[in-house]
């Protein structure tokens, strides 16, 4: 197989709480390949969001990445100075956050959020060229009345709308790697299908996608590769076919049973 587009090696992220240390990630290795969707599945609190934030260098106190490397095109992102890391985010790695309300600035218009994504993108468009693309991208994620939405502030929009705007930002970034943390949870099925279709289009354009989801149906439908995480450790990995057909780890079997009601043995 090709060289990975992004490699995570031995990543450890700990949270230093008053009377204990939470090892949210404890030696995680993951490879993302060009033009493939890699799903990361695991129960609540298993470390999925901490992994994506660690890749982007966005872990805040009391948390800290204590060990490991995140290699993108021969560079260890964790060793980059903050300025360069900031440039890498957006230009080469984009992220759709699980919590849109925390990542959209409530008092900055949607339009300005999208212009900012475009400004940081490696495939920057002229302002004139960008606006029609904004309209199109917003309608692709199921938003209507896009003119009004572009002129709105996030605080004026519902949670579901903000989530779709986050997805639109991820699509517009045109980065090498896209991390999507539960991009469709809490959206209706039609919107979910529209967004999954857009992610498939990105894959066809050669973008590597890390898709974090609870939904094993989505994994079966979308992903090429799967990693299963439990308590901050990868317990199983392989192609979707391998993992679904012959789960090795008890935890994966449990996840699959819970989701499908079938017994594996």
Binder of residue 165, out of ligand ATP, Mg ion, none (CB less than 5 to 8 A by kind) = none
Cα–Cα nearest to 212, from 86, 54, 106: 54
Does the footprint of ligand ATP cover residue 191 (CB under 6 A)?
Answer: no
Q: Which is nearer to ligand ATP, 15 or 264 (CB)?
A: 15
Q: Which is nearer to ligand ATP, 2 or 60 (CB)?
A: 60
Q: Which is nearer to Mg ion, 44 or 74 (CB)?
A: 44
Q: Which is nearer to ligand ATP, 44 or 102 (CB)?
A: 44
Q: Looking at 13, 38, 46, 49, which residue binds Mg ion (CB under 5 A)?
A: 49
Longest dimension (CA), the chain: 58
CB of 25 to ligand ATP, least distance (A): 8
Q: Looking at 22, 108, 193, 220, which residue binds ligand ATP (CB under 6 A)?
A: 22
Q: Which is nearer to Mg ion, 52 or 176 (CB)?
A: 52
CB of 212 to ligand ATP, least distance (A): 7
Q: Are 119 and 125 in contact (CB under 8 A)?
A: no
Q: Are 133 and 175 in contact (CB under 8 A)?
A: no
Does the footprint of ligand ATP cover residue 45 (CB under 6 A)?
Answer: yes
Residues in the chain: 265
Q: Which residues contact 244 (CB under 8 A, 6 or more apart)?
A: 220, 226, 256
Q: Looking at 63, 68, 90, 154, which residue binds ligand ATP (CB under 6 A)?
A: 63
Q: Are 96 and 183 in contact (CB under 8 A)?
A: yes
42-79: b or e for each residue (b if 16 or more CB lie within 10 Å)?
Answer: bbeebbbbbbbbbbbbebeeebebeebbbbbeeeebbe
Site string for ligand ATP, 93-112 (x = CB under 6 A): -----x--------------
């Amino acid at each position: 197989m090709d060289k990975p587009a992004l490699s995570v090696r031995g990543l450890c992220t700990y949270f230093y709480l008053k009377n204990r240390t939470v090892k949210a990630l404890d030696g995680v290795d993951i490879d993302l390949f060009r033009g493939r969707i890699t799903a990361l599945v695991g129960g609540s609190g298993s470390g999925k969001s901490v992994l994506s934030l660690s890749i982007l260098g966005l872990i805040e106190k009391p948390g800290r990445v204590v060990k490991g490397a995140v290699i993108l095109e021969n560079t260890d992102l964790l060793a980059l100075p903050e300025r360069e890391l900031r440039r890498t985010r957006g230009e080469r790695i984009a992220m759709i956050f699980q919590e849109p309300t925390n990542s959209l600035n409530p008092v900055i218009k949607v339009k300005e959020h999208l212009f900012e994504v475009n400004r940081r993108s490696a495939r920057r468009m002229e302002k004139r060229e960008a606006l029609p693309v904004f309209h199109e991208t917003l309608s692709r994620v199921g938003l209507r009345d896009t003119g009004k939405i572009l002129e709105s502030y996030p605080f004026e929009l519902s949670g579901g709308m903000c989530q779709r705007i986050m997805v639109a930002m991820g699509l517009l970034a045109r980065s090498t790697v896209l991390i999507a943390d539960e991009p469709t949870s809490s959206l209706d099925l039609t919107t979910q299908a529209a967004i999954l279709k857009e992610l498939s289009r990105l894959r066809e354009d050669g973008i590597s996608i890390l898709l974090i989801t609870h939904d094993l149906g989505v994994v079966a439908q979308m992903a090429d590769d799967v990693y299963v995480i439990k308590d901050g450790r990868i317990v199983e990995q392989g192609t979707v076919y391998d993992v679904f057909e012959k789960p090795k780890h008890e935890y994966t079997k449990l996840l699959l049973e819970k989701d499908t009601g079938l017994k594996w043995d």
